[in-house]
Structure formats: C-alpha cells, structure tokens
Amino acid sequence: MKGREFKDAMYDGLAKMLKSISNPARLEIIEMLSQGEKSVEGIVQATNLTIANASQHLQVLKNNNIVKSRKEKQYVYYSLVSDDFLSLYQHVIKYAVHEIAELEKIMNRQREDNKSLNAVNLDELETMIGNENVLLLDVRPSVEFEFGHITGAVSIPMNELMTHLKDFSKDKEIIAYCRGPFCVLADEAVKVLSEKGYKVRRLDEGYPEWKIKQLESN
C-alpha cells in the first residue's frame, strides 16, 4: 500500500465514523444511551423521532460500532458499545460547550431562564460529599437511577418532585443533577425548588460524566 492510499483509507474511515455521530438526532440518541440501554420505543418516547426514523439512525450507529443491540422477547435493546466511546463523546461535549461561543451562549441563556447559572462542577462536588448539609438529588427517571448513580445521591424523579417537597429542609443546600450538561431536568428542578425558597444549584455535568471520571481516576 502506497502512502497516499493508506492516508486516504484512514481519513475516509475516520470521516465515516465522525459522520455517523454528526447528526442532531443521533447525538440525542447517544445521550439517551449514555444513561444505560434503551429499547427503540424508549428512545422514541424521549425524542421527537418516528419509530422508523429512530430505527434507521440506530442502524447507522450500529454499522459504525457506536452502539450494540440485544434482543429480549419482542424488544430490541440498544446500548453504547464501550466506555471508551462515552469518554470521547464527553470530550466532544466539553469542548463544544466551552470553546464554541454560539453553544456557550445558548447554554447560558437556558441556565439564566432557570436560575441555574451558578452550577457546581464535579471537582467542587467532590469537596461536598459527606457534608451533612448537602443533599445530592438525582432527578432522572428511576430506571436510570437504578442502572447507576452518583454515590450518596437520593432519587426523586422530576415528575414526583412536587409531592416530595415536604421532605426537604430549607437549611440544606440541594445539588440537583440529571443526564449531563444538555439535560433539562435538573434545570427544571432548580427552577421549581428555588421558587419555593430552597437553596439549590445544579450540577454542571451528569451521571455519565461522573462515572467516566471515576473510571479514569483508577
């Protein structure tokens, strides 16, 4: 193989892989799957996609070795192929949110609307764990909590938050988190709770970021 052929083959292959993740619908699917495996139906419910379209995007991701599937009963469950990919995906997000002015602006506007501008990051969180006066709140659906969560977190899915208000003390500092920087559940939680007079901030990132950080520090 000549040098030019080798280069072309490598860059073509690389571009093909990158293309497979360069689509808003597929990025959202990846984000969903970073919480754990989901059926096609589960993905459809969380996104605006039709079933056929979601299935098609999943095939693209599968052909590029980003996701894998297993069949159980009538359902097909998809999940990310490896933590190495998850780590790469998070690097992309982190770069985009910090280095692309346009995206940073959109994110700040969103956080402003939800009074969640002064977010806590993972490093800060670490100094807070074990502190009696801090309550770490996981507002994702409970399936996702059960699949994995940040050590010490309490699960109260967003849609049950209002009925659990009485459980919270207004003296404690509440840190709400969900799926990651793009997830709006924690923003909503901050909005609701702060309007009721609680001390609450959101975690900048989410469960998968915490998980990868744990893995990488070992």
List active site positions.
178
Closest to 212 measured CA to CA, from 91, 115, 120 = 91
Q: Nearer to its own copies by C-beta: 135 or 180?
A: 180
Q: Which residues bind its own copies (CB under 8 A)?
A: 1, 3-4, 6-15, 17-19, 21-25, 27-28, 48, 65, 82, 84-85, 88, 91-93, 95-96, 98-103, 106-107, 109-110, 113, 182, 184, 187-188
Q: Nearer to DNA by C-beta: 67 or 135?
A: 67
CB of 135 to its own copies, least distance (A): 24
Which of 76, 97, 103, 128 forms a contact with DNA (CB under 7 A)? 76
Sheet holding 67-72, edge to edge: 38-39, 75-80, 67-72
Residue 14 region, left (φ>0) first, then alpha (ψ -120 to 50), else beta?
Answer: alpha
Q: Nearer to DNA by C-beta: 42 or 206?
A: 42
Tell me, by CB under 7 A, how many residues bind DNA.
26
Cα–Cα distance measured from residue 31 to residue 113, given in angstroms and rounded to the nearest whole number: 23
- Cα torsion angle, 195, 189, 129, 155, sign: positive
Q: Nearer to its own copies by C-beta: 24 or 197?
A: 24
Which of 39, 79, 87, 110 forms a contact with DNA (CB under 7 A)? 39
Residues 34/180, Cβ–Cβ less than 8 Å? yes
Residues 207/176, Cβ–Cβ less than 8 Å? no
Residue 40 binds to DNA (criterion: CB under 7 A) = yes
Residue that the structure tokens 């909590």 belong to? 145
Can you give the binding site for DNA, defined by CB under 7 A?
16, 19, 22-25, 39-41, 49-53, 55-60, 69, 71, 73-76
